[in-house]
Amino acid sequence: MRAWEHQNLDAIIALLHDDVTLSMPPSPTWIAGRADVARFFANRVNQSARAAFFDVNGRTGAGFYRLGDGGEWAFIALQVLDVKDRRIRVIDHFMSASSHAAFFAGGLSRNLAATPG
């Protein structure tokens, strides 16, 4: 999460398994391989965001938040990750509001508190 929050694309790519896949349910988007997933992230890492980890049925989930006008970090997307050999092998990326409802019902926060100072 530090790599994403610091917009460090090289560090993010280093965390990806060679045969990583990225999907975006319910969209048919499916990207395979470190180079193609890296290209996908290249245009997204420059967006300031905070992230928080949580459990999703035994897998690691990462909620992403963007700073809103009111000073709170508002939820924008969720990734469910699968790790192999200490690298990210599968990324299921959920951006649609309809897919977020179940995660909110399970306790995912809609907002993070503003950072002091």
Mean of the per-residue pLDDT values of the chain: 85
CATH number of 2-111: 3.10.450.50
Instruction: List, in order, residues 6 or more apart from 74 with CB less than 8 Å away.
Output: 65, 66, 67, 68, 110, 111
Domain ranges of the chain: 2-111
Mean pLDDT, range 58-79, rounded to an integer: 86
Q: pTM (2 decimals)?
A: 0.82
